[in-house]
């Protein structure tokens, strides 16, 4: 059965470039990003893993741990990491799961048979501290994902989780946010700065007080 937003992210144990892990133990109480790529030693994937490594401080600041997966074996991952570090000028500091038996790929429905019978597509899941799935995106093999967009969504998700704030179209950090409908305008006046009530259902704020 395929996963949907709000579902519990399935736990698993796996061999990775950082040793054997239990997914939930690896995440601890924080946020996680689990993302698949089609195969090792492929060009788009090389840039994606490099970008993730270069953004490692941004993920760390947000309490997000990254975890990549492909159906290639561990020895291949280890050799490929050397290439990623060399060509992308980075240090891959997050684990890459070796999933030759497709256990993780199957649990997360990452193989789309009409795209490829054997390789995972570019699936990405953001998982919250409660271990539920907060975001799912699926890209084709030929299109590298935008990891700045992933960070932007994490910022939005964390604003909602911590402050009952949503984010408007094309929002970027520093811009006004939207008070979620579940908060009354009376409460919003107590909790948020610069409240602008455009409509009873459309209320902007520059942030929590
Ligand atoms: C890749 O780098 O993974 C890739 C690039 C083009 C087509 C398919 C896959």
> Which domains are assigned to the chain?
13-144 (3.40.30.10), 164-205 (3.30.1020.10)
> What is the phi/psi pair of residue 106, to 5°?
-75, -45
What pLDDT score was predicted for residue 91?
98
CB 122 less than 6 A from any atom of ligand 1: no
Half-sphere exposure of 152 (CA within 13 A, CB side): 15
Q: CA 7 → CA 30, 131, 199, distances in Å?
A: 17, 9, 33
Q: Is the CB of 44 under 6 A from ligand 1?
A: yes
Query: pTM of the entire structure?
Result: 0.96
Give me the pLDDT at residue 118, please: 85
Looking at residue 200, its pLDDT comes to 96
**Rounded distance, CA 86 to CA 170, Å?**
34
Question: Which regions of the chain are under pLDDT 70?
Answer: 1
Distance (Å, whole) CA 147 – CA 62: 14
Q: What is the pLDDT of residue 56?
A: 98
Which atom of ligand 1 is nearest to 43's Cα? Answer: 2
Distance of CA 146 from the midpoint of ligand 1 (Å)? 15
Does the annotation count 45 as an active-site position? Answer: yes
pLDDT at position 1: 59
């Amino acid at each position: 059965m395929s996963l949907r937003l709000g579902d519990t992210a399935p736990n698993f144990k796996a061999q990775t470039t950082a040793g054997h892990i239990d997914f939930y133990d690896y995440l601890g109480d924080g946020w996680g990003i689990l993302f698949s790529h089609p195969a090792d030693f492929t060009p788009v994937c090389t840039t994606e893993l490099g970008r993730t490594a270069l953004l490692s401080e941004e993920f760390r600041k947000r309490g997000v741990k990254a975890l990549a997966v492909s159906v290639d074996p561990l020895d291949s991952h280890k050799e490929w990491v050397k290439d990623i570090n060399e060509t992308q000028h980075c240090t891959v500091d997050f684990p890459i799961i070796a999933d030759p038996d497709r256990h993780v790929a199957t649990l997360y429905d990452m193989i789309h048979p009409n795209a490829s019978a054997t390789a995972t597509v570019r699936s990405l899941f953001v998982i919250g501290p409660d271990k539920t799935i907060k975001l799912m995106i699926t890209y084709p093999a030929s299109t590298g994902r935008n990891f700045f967009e992933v960070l932007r969504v994490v910022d939005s998700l964390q604003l909602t989780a911590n402050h009952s704030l949503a984010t408007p179209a094309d929002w970027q950090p520093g811009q006004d946010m939207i008070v979620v409908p579940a908060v009354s305008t009376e409460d919003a006046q107590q909790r948020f700065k610069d409240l602008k009530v455009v409509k009873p259902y459309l209320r902007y704020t520059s942030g929590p007080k």
